[in-house]
């Protein structure tokens, strides 16, 4: 089975669709933390986490993109003059 970035994006977006739009940023942040923990585990010489890192690293792009978009939206809200 061939995976491309578009496939990973669609799986990630499908995963996010299970949550309300207001918590997408928190879900992405949680996944990013899990990714960082995976990297930490790799540095502690655990092979299974290295394999998971290789599989999950391309998925980190949409996760980080979603976090960035949510932060920008929050900053726009906080800085808007109403």
Q: What is the pLDDT of residues 31-52, one digit of tens each?
A: 889 888 887 776 776 777 677 7
pLDDT score of 2:
60
Cβ atoms of 29 and 68 within 8 Å: the answer is no
Whether the predicted pLDDT of 71 surpasses 70: yes
Whether the predicted pLDDT of 53 surpasses 80: no
* Cβ neighbours for 27, distance < 8 A, ≥ 6 positions apart: 16, 19
Between 72 and 8, whose confidence is greater? 72
Burial grade of 39 (CB within 10 A; 0-12, 13-18, 19 or more) = middle
Mean pLDDT throughout 39-67? 77
């Amino acid at each position: 089975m061939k995976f491309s970035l578009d496939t990973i994006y669609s799986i990630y977006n499908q995963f996010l669709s299970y949550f309300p739009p207001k918590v997408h940023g928190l879900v992405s942040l949680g996944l990013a933390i899990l990714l960082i923990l995976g990297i930490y585990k790799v540095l502690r010489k655990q092979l299974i986490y290295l394999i998971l890192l290789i599989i999950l690293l391309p998925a980190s792009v949409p996760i980080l993109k979603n976090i960035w978009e949510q932060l920008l939206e929050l900053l726009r809200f906080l800085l808007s003059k109403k």
